[in-house]
Amino acid sequence: MKVCDASKTSVVVAGAGPAGLMAAYRAALGGAEVTVIEKMKRPGLKLLASGGGRCNTTNVLSQEDFMRAFGRHGRFMNDALNAFSRNDLLKWFEDRNVKLNCVDGFHYFPVTGSSVDILSALLAACRQHGVKFLFGVKAEELLISDGAIAGIKLDTREELPAQAVILACGGRGYSALGGSSAGYQLAIQGGHRIIKTVPGMVGLKTQEDWPACCAGISQEKVRVSIALKKYSKLNFTGALVFTQEGISGPAVVDISASVNELLENNQTVPLKIELFPEKSADEIHAMLVKLLQDNSRKKLLNTVSRLVPNALAAVLCDMAGDRTDVSNAAEIKSAELPGRVFRELCSILTDFNVRIVGSQGFDRAMVTRGGVHLREISPSNLESRIINRLYFAGEMVNLDGPCGGYNLQWAFSSGFLAGRSAAACKKAAGN
């Protein structure tokens, strides 16, 4: 790799998303001369789209519970969360006249309901401390000298000397908003291993075609789990939305990354759906008995429609009929329902499986699972263990959480710690 003169001290941040902007602000606050490079023409495009444009920035969980939600690698975040906690985040934005409100006892959103205010506060803080921006340019190559960062080479062939580089390039999701594998390629140049990436927080495609009949229907408080013994404890509860291709909604997208990992080596993955997870099988049996008794003269379809929307009720009735070789089960009067159809319908209302064959892919993925191997990054300062003065922040590393403010909190916390560390590195190198 070409070596440049690093005598002009500076910090270069690659990426102008939430992690990169927070890193740039914190590095500049620490006295560094900071330049942010962003391949898109504007900053924070994925941030603007987050939470449907409302920007769910964090949540109420304790630090321990928050880390646990990220799975077995969650404790890697401890130092970053200590450096910039939920309360620090709330105060940071409130100090900049962006109040965040816990609207439902769990999720925090800006009171204005607009992600524009979050982005504006970050940009204003950066500019207040002299951060420079280069938009529409891409980091093409890390410049390394004697095992340490010396700068970055741009796709314009210009070289930016730097004492520290922070890679906050984001993941592969939403390519139209800047998602790509460019950051991983830079990390590979520095000798880092990349855990294979798969789409996360994305809708899933089913082998069955019946979900298309229910497209647009949403069921609240549904539990989904992978119907394989090894993964039986992995489940998520929330809204489920049927689509033309399969299923989506919070409960589904939260489990989607794990499903996509399994699809790397399997043609299909069975997913269990529990429409009434708060009720036991016995309670569902009793509920259906009473419904049939109270609606004895009505068709089964009309009776089941009291539990779920009509289109879904039709599918469930047909499913019970198909499994018991009874045609037109939906048209049978409730009082005349054969026992075997009743038992099968009870079973389906308790849980049923769909087979997942794919997802909507990275173009629709809100996060990326996989990324830079955590063992090659020091959690105390987010510096590379391979290249001195190379730092990482945000989605680039092998950490991803569920819906609900988890990933944005990690972006802000990791950006803060990486920026602080890079600024301290600059001071140390300058002394």
Q: What is the pLDDT of residues 92-133, one digit of tens each?
A: 999 999 999 998 999 999 999 999 999 999 999 999 999 999
Assess contact for 112 and 83: CB atoms under 8 A: no
Q: Is residue 252 part of a domain?
A: yes
Residues 36 and 172 in one domain: yes
CATH number of the CATH domain containing 264 = 2.40.30.10
Q: Is residue 183 part of a domain?
A: yes
Residues 119 and 184 in one domain: yes
Q: Calculate the dihedral angle through the C-alpha atoms of 367, 371, 373, 377, rounding to the nearest 10 degrees.
A: -70
Phi, psi (degrees; rounded to nearest 5) at 384: -60, 140
The answer on pLDDT for 428 being more than 70 is no
Q: Is residue 22 part of a domain?
A: yes
Assess contact for 312 and 217: CB atoms under 8 A: yes
Q: What share of the chain is helix, strand, coil (3-state, %, to 5)?
A: 40, 25, 35
Residues 142 and 23 in one domain: yes
Mean pLDDT of 223-229: 97
pLDDT at 232: 84
Mean pLDDT of 376-397: 99
Residues 140 and 167 in one domain: yes
The answer on pLDDT for 300 being more than 70 is yes
Confidence band, pLDDT 50/70/90 cuts, at residue 425: confident
Q: How far is CA 221 from CA 48, 52, 151, 239, 279, in A?
A: 27, 20, 50, 5, 11
Q: What is the mean pLDDT of the chain?
A: 95
Mean pLDDT of 395-404: 96
- The total of structural domains in the chain comes to 3
Residues 99 and 216 in one domain: no
Question: Shortest CA distance to 36 belongs to which of 143, 191, 160?
Answer: 160
CATH number of the CATH domain containing 320 = 1.10.8
pLDDT at 9: 53
Q: Is residue 2 part of a domain?
A: no
pLDDT at 103: 86
pLDDT at 4: 39
Start-to-end CA distance of the chain, whole Å, equals 27
Tokens 């708060």 appear where?
A: 278
Residues 95 and 210 in one domain: no
The answer on pLDDT for 7 being more than 80 is no
What pTM was estimated for this model as a whole? 0.93
Question: Shortest CA distance to 380 belongs to which of 430, 414, 427?
Answer: 414
Q: Is residue 267 part of a domain?
A: yes
The answer on pLDDT for 1 being more than 50 is no
Over residues 31-80, the pLDDT tens digits come to: 999 999 999 999 999 999 998 999 999 999 999 999 999 999 999 999 99
Share of the chain above pLDDT 90, in %: 95
Over residues 145-175, the pLDDT tens digits come to: 999 999 999 999 999 999 999 999 999 999 9
Q: For 253-300, give the DSSP string.
A: HHHHHHHHHHHTT-S-EEEEEES-TTS-HHHHHHHHHHHHHHTTTSBH
Confidence band, pLDDT 50/70/90 cuts, at residue 5: very low
Domain boundary among 350, 385, 403: 350
The answer on pLDDT for 2 being more than 80 is no
Question: Shortest CA distance to 430 belongs to which of 3, 2, 30?
Answer: 30
Q: How far is CA 244 from CA 212, 308, 386, in A?
A: 4, 19, 46
Residues 253 and 379 in one domain: no
Structural domain boundaries, residue 253: 203-275+354-359
Q: How far is CA 240 from CA 116, 217, 249, 276, 349, in A?
A: 28, 8, 5, 12, 15
Over residues 257-273, the pLDDT tens digits come to: 999 999 999 999 999 99
Mean pLDDT of 15-24: 99
Domain boundary among 350, 378, 394: 350
